[in-house]
Amino acid sequence: MNKTSGRRSVLKKIAAGAGILSFPLSMGSALAATEKALGPKLNGKINHSVCKWCYSKIPLETFAQEVKKLGMTSIELLGPEEWPVIKKYGLTCALPWGEGLTRSIDKGFNDPANHEELIKGFEDVIPKVQAAGYDKIICFSGNRRGMSDADGLRNCAAGLKRLIPIAEKHNVTLVMELLNSKVNHKDYMCDRTEWGAALCDMVGSEKFKLLYDIYHMQIQEGDVIATIKKYHKYIAHYHTGGVPGRHEIDETQELYYPSIMKAIVETGYKGFVGQEFVPSRKDDIASLKQGVTICDIA
């Protein structure tokens, strides 16, 4: 078997095993799409990133090499100690972690008792983000713990406004993640796009925006494409994930990601889309290849 036919045989196995052929694609176009994902050149309409925590079994350096082979340019949700590893392979970190309490999901800006520690932490890490050549950092609202939405908005805005001057100085955008409170993050406050957009308006700076996690918002509120179109000006980053289960984004779940990617591109979005599904099959990298292929619209 020559190298070309051998590669095509492998591609057929990957495509069939990952379920990519169940989308409305012909055998030929599915193989062509999969083969494209294996090479260094993608279509360019979507900037592809991936969240490292979903691939915890793979050492970061090995993972960076695999991501590079796919033609992707970012591994995200990494902290300062990990950034030098991906830089070795010419990769960026589209959405970095902070340190300490800045990584906390349930203890966030909605509780004034957390403000001093959060502000100290972000004031320390934001200059590091800029120095590394990055321009965003993730943050969280925290859990309600009986707090009203209105009080949560006021408290979050008060804490975030204290950080805006340093964010603006270093050209770093604070990006608050929208998470579902029905299944994965019980009691989390920033669980609806409308609430997050209201917070953006209260903060009143382009250096505070939202991370629209498609998986989480499909569970919490649905109507994904219409919501993206309505609120796109507030969104600085996107994450994927299959619903239900947060696994592969293929025919095993209820969303059709090529249409979602098309809607995102039509809003004029130029940022990254981060794959954040947890692979459920034997070959994690094959699942990642499939996810990139599905989202790499022409």
pLDDT for the residue numbered 40: 52
Contact 96, 129 (CB under 8 A): yes
Q: Tell me the whole-structure pTM to 2 decimals.
A: 0.87
Kindly give, in sequence order, each residue whose CB lies less than 8 Å from that of residue 16, ignoring residues fewer than 6 positions away: none
pLDDT for the residue numbered 168: 98
109 closest CA partner among 147, 63, 73, 69: 147
> Which residue ranges of the chain lie beneath pLDDT 70?
1-40
Among 76, 81, 123, 177, the one annotated catalytic: 177
CA geometry: angle 14, 15, 17, nearest 5 deg: 65
Instruction: For residue 177, indicate whether it is catalytic.
Output: yes
Kindly give, in sequence order, each residue whose CB lies less than 8 Å from that of residue 113, ignoring residues fewer than 6 positions away: none
164 closest CA partner among 133, 128, 202, 196: 202
What does DSSP assign to residue 109? Answer: T
pLDDT for the residue numbered 167: 98
CA atoms within 13 A on the CB side of 144: 15
Contact 107, 114 (CB under 8 A): yes
Bridge partner residues of 50 (DSSP): 75, 275
**Could you give the CA distance from residue 98 to residue 84 in angstroms, rounded to a whole number?**
15
Bridge partner residues of 210 (DSSP): 176, 235
> What is the residue whose two structure tokens read 């290849």?
289
pLDDT for the residue numbered 22: 41
The runs of H, that is alpha helices, within the chain are: 3-18, 27-38, 60-69, 83-87, 115-131, 149-170, 193-203, 214-220, 224-231, 257-266, 284-295
Bridge partner residues of 53 (DSSP): none
CA atoms within 13 A on the CB side of 260: 25
pLDDT for the residue numbered 14: 37
Q: How far is CA 93 from the centre of its chain?
A: 11
99's tokens = 């340190």
